[in-house]
Structure 1
Amino acid sequence: MRDVLNQLEAWLAEGRQIAVATLVQVHKSAPRQPGAVMAVSDRGEVVGSVSGGCVESALYEEATAVLGGAPPRLLTYGIADDQAFEVGLTCGGTIRVFVERADWAPDLLPRLAEAIRAERPAALVTVTAGPCLGAKLLVTAEESHGTTGSPDLDQALIAEARAMLTMGRTGDRQFGAAGEARGAEVSAFIESFSPPPRMFVFGAIDFASAVVRIGKFLGYKVILCDARPVFATRARFPEADEVVVRWPHEFLEEAEVGPRDAICVLTHDSKFDVPVLLAALKTPAAYIGAMGSRATHERRYRELLEAGASPEELKRISSPIGLDIGGRTPEETAVSIAAEIIALRYGRPGGRLADRPGPIHLDQAPVT
């Protein structure tokens, strides 16, 4: 939804009628994950994608039918048995897509857009099967908007949406018609819109500029920090969301670091590295990486032990930082670091896909 939000708002401002196709389930391999959206206006304009091109033509016809008055529907697409290029997923997966007329958008979309831009967590709930098919709720920690028409079901959906929002998860849930979390009489797709994870980059060096750029490309809110004001400038790091001139460890000790965040220490200077890495180990960050040669890493490892870190704690630090792809330039090194962060997120070893059997994608990717 995020990637089509601006266009949906523009269509609403023009008074356009809109149909929305939302990817709600993925089984095996598929190019996109639940929450991906394709929207069609009553002028035939299209924005977004749910499968990278495999089923968009068929979905366009379904969206046009919904705009013409057909009811919302939950559709399943999978690989074709006989003809690989007929409607289906040629990559071998199966997806389920909910197609609806977005009559809810004038009321709920501006509230959702406001929450996303203010980085306030919000969840969009869509009933995809059951007697209240197509019902929509927008849920935040403080309030909710919309209804299924059943107060008991509303209460159950709101509670589940808030629980999923806390974990930053998106997915299907089943409920009894009266709201019991069983029976599968009602299916609902709950999409969490959590604030973007943050990437903390310490060290205003040339490699940091490339890491900042790739962090932004991956969807992180990127904060660059260095104690040296002559190097930590907005002119040198225009892509960073924030440029902070402070001693790194002092800044990190006060920063709010979450379990989806990444910390990249690029200074390879002990007077900076050791204090900031000790501070990093006290956070729940998903990734902590430190740049430096193997000799630098061994020296830094001993200094961290002497400063009170345990060998078990130090296992959290990826050093030397990045995957072994032979990168030398700042850009190549940034790709190596980004690849390691992605591999760690998905629990993958980071080797060549060509050398590994089994599915390319997990059945369910984590939400970030």
Structure 2
Amino acid sequence: MNTFVKLIETIQHWHASGKDGAIATLIRSSGTSPLPVGEMMAISSSFDMQGAVSRGCVESAILEIAQDAIKENQALLRHFGFSDQSAWEVGLTCGGEIDVLIEPVPQSQDTADFFDRVLSKCKNDEPFYLFHFLDEENLGKRILCDHEKILYSDLPPSLSISPSVIRGLNNQDKSHTMDVPLTNGKNLPAFMTYFQPARRLIIIGAGEIAIYLTKMAKLLGFSVIIIDPRSMFASNMRFPDADIILAKWPQDCLPSLNLKPRDSLVIISHDEKIDLPALQIGLESCVGYIGLLGSLKTRQNRLVALKEAGWQEADLARLHAPIGLDIGSKKADEIALAILAEIIKEKNQSRSA
């Protein structure tokens, strides 16, 4: 979701400067293609670009193709395959094959309406779906919807997604190509992308490690929440990149965050009065990752306290303690890197399971 917001904001900036734009979307891949389907890049009419669909293999060609799409105001679908020739030949040296949809995004009221609806969903952290239609007649037409209704459509008025399709979207959380049933009884091929709110990283303890962890996590698209009752630590001056800063005790604010499987809870305060309530709230929730920082003695003390509070070994097995991948880190920035690397590893393993 954050990546799409950045692309939209980039195109809005181009529009304000008098430039038209286009969005390229990776809709199919096979073999060892470098990026997953659903990746996007934005291109301007003056050859600016934001994002990528192939790690540099075909971006130069897409820049050129996008100019035709912009000039003709016509979506284009292009296939790219393997190339083992020079670096100047367009192709994927990794041996994969990809299909890329390039859609013009002109300066228009329709574009403004579409962007407004997308940004509204993103601002409110509400998931949504975007359908890109792929048949020749409707190539590049879009429908934006959530689990309940259509929010935007530039298909002809006689065409609309069947309500049963919208109701059945709940379990479709991966980008893919599908045949979409319409209300007129026909099916149209489309590429569906599911946009979810940013993954949340909740950091308990606002020390030096948390500063580096926040900066790194924001680069990777996380929404970061800092919790520490010590207001001199939990401040905007120390955490200008954080989305939310709560100078409160964990037990007074963590339950209201409604921790979810996509969230990560990092407990790095070094203070038992702060750590233990956060650990217990995390264990009571369905949060996807719980990590605890501390020496062997500190970890043992926390585990003993949790067992005395009634937690079983099976519950405590959820804890990542020691926290982070073992890369021999002692400096704050490297510890932050190790923590975030472990979170990403867990996320990717869960996704592929």
Scaled by the length of structure 2, what TM-score is found?
0.86
Distance 1:69 1:212, change over 3 A: closer
The reply on whether 1:77 has 2:80 as its aligned counterpart is yes
Give 1:171's match in structure 2, choosing from 176, 198, 211. Answer: 176
The reply on whether 1:17 has 2:20 as its aligned counterpart is yes
The answer (yes or no) to whether the contact 1:268–1:290 under 8 Å persists in 2 is no
Distance 1:83 1:236, change over 3 A: closer
Give distance in 1, aligned partners of 2:274 and 2:44.
54
Q: State the match for 1:136 in structure 2.
A: 142
- Residue deviations 1:33-84, cap 9 Å, x none? 3333233333444343222211012212222222333853322223225567
Whichever residue aligns with residue 233 of structure 1, its letter is: S
The structure whose RCO (Cα within 8 Å, separation 6+) is larger is 1
In the TM superposition, 1:1-368 aligns within 5 A as: 1-14=4-17, 16-69=19-72, 71-80=74-83, 86-102=89-105, 105-129=111-135, 131-140=137-146, 141=148, 143-149=150-156, 153-155=160-162, 159=166, 162-163=169-170, 168-175=173-180, 186-347=188-349
Give distance in 1, aligned partners of 2:34 and 2:112.
30
The answer (yes or no) to whether the contact 2:161–2:183 under 8 Å persists in 1 is no
Structure 1 stretch displaced more, 136-145 or 215-224:
136-145
Structure 1 stretch displaced more, 144-153 or 241-250:
144-153
Structure 1 stretch displaced more, 247-256 or 307-316:
247-256
Distance 1:124 1:292, change over 3 A: same
SS state at 1:24 partner: strand
SS state at 2:216 partner: helix
SS state at 1:11 partner: helix
Give distance in 2, aligned partners of 1:152 and 1:242.
42
Whichever residue aligns with residue 211 of structure 1, its letter is: L
Distance 1:29 1:283, change over 3 A: farther
Task: Number of aligned residue pairs: give it.
Answer: 346
Structure 2: unaligned runs, 5 residues or longer: none
Structure 1 stretch displaced more, 86-95 or 68-77:
68-77
SS state at 1:129 partner: coil
Q: State the match for 1:354 in structure 2.
A: none
SS state at 1:235 partner: coil
SS state at 1:68 partner: helix
Distance 1:339 1:157, change over 3 A: farther
Structure 1 stretch displaced more, 145-154 or 185-194:
145-154
Give distance in 1, aligned partners of 2:262 and 2:105.
32
Distance 1:282 1:25, change over 3 A: farther
- The structural deviation recorded for 1:134 is 2.0
The answer (yes or no) to whether the contact 1:74–1:129 under 8 Å persists in 2 is no
Give distance in 2, aligned partners of 1:340 and 1:237.
22
- The structural deviation recorded for 1:333 is 0.1
Give distance in 2, aligned partners of 1:306 and 1:67.
66
The answer (yes or no) to whether the contact 2:22–2:66 under 8 Å persists in 1 is yes
The answer (yes or no) to whether the contact 1:139–1:161 under 8 Å persists in 2 is no
Structure 1: unaligned runs, 5 residues or longer: 349-363
Taking every aligned residue pair, what percent have the same amino acid on both sides? 31
The answer (yes or no) to whether the contact 2:161–2:182 under 8 Å persists in 1 is no
Scaled by the length of structure 1, what TM-score is found?
0.83
SS state at 2:190 partner: strand
- The structural deviation recorded for 1:276 is 1.4
